[in-house]
Chains A and B, each alone.
Chain A
Amino acid sequence: QVQLQESGPGLVKPSQTLSLTCTVSGGSINSGGSYWSWIRQHPGKGLEWLGYIYYSGSTYYNPSLKSRLTISLDTSKNQFSLKLTSVTAADTAVYYCARAKYFDYWGQGALVTVSS
């Protein structure tokens, strides 16, 4: 059974960079055909897809965040990561990592608060 686990700071200051890592267990992150996504949910709101990275390393980002977002893959650690620059309070959310284009496996979520 594939499992995903987000990790990273729960508090980030405005204008700084939000960094999260998703560790995948129970399967290889570079198995053929795998997409790995980041999704967030603002408090009390719906789901917003941020972007994905393909097992080959190619990426697609939501245009609303494209200039600030980077997703990368570390196959040696079976992890993928998110970096979001120049954060504001509007980036306060629960951040989820998930597998595939239809999200069959999700992490438990990481609450990130942007505040000074």
Chain B
Amino acid sequence: EIVLTQSPDFQSVTPKEKVTITCRASQSIGSSLHWYQQKPDQSPKLLIKYASQSFSGVPSRFSGSGSGTNFTLTINSLEAEDAATYYCHQSSSPPLTFGGGTKVEIK
């Protein structure tokens, strides 16, 4: 099973600040890494697919990069509505797995 390790677990950020969340895979997964945003009492929403491809309708301040074992989700100029938990997920090899999540709080 491929283990995904996200960091940090929690981040408290002021509006307009840049946020960087990392996801490390226990073995190479190419670019089969996806990012989701989940707000309280809502279903997760796809932000980025295949490491760097923005999903339709996602604000341009969200971007992804990386390949192999190291990946990054970047939120440029954080907005209050971005307060949420963010998860990475790999589809390279079943069982599909998720990272533990990063909670982003707005100061």
Chain A residues proximal to chain B, CB less than 8 Å: 37, 46-49, 52, 60, 62-64, 96, 101-104, 106-109
Contacts and interface: CB of A to CB of B under 8 A. Distances in A.
Contacts of A37: 96
18 contacts: A46-B98, A47-B36, A47-B89, A47-B101, A49-B89, A49-B95, A49-B98, A63-B1, A101-B96, A102-B34, A102-B49, A102-B50, A102-B89, A103-B36, A103-B44, A104-B49, A104-B55, A106-B43
Interface residues of B, number: 22
Contacts, number: 51
Contacts of A103: 34, 36, 44, 46, 89
B94 interface: yes
Contacts of B87: 46-47
Interface string B1-16: 1000000000000000
Interface in B69-87: 87
Q: Please classify the interface of chain A as helix (H, G, I), strand (E, B), loop, or mixed, using the class held by over half of its residues.
A: loop
Contacts of A64: 95
Given A101-B91, A104-B46, A109-B43, A47 B98 contact: yes
B102 to A, nearest CB: 10
Given A52-B94, A52-B96, A96-B44, 11 more contacts: A37-B96, A46-B87, A47-B98, A49-B89, A49-B95, A49-B97, A60-B95, A101-B91, A101-B96, A103-B44, A106-B44
Interface of B: 1, 32, 34, 36, 43-46, 49-50, 55, 87, 89, 91, 94-101
Nearest to A94: B43
Contacts of B99: 46
A106 B95 CA distance: 19
Nearest to B6: A46
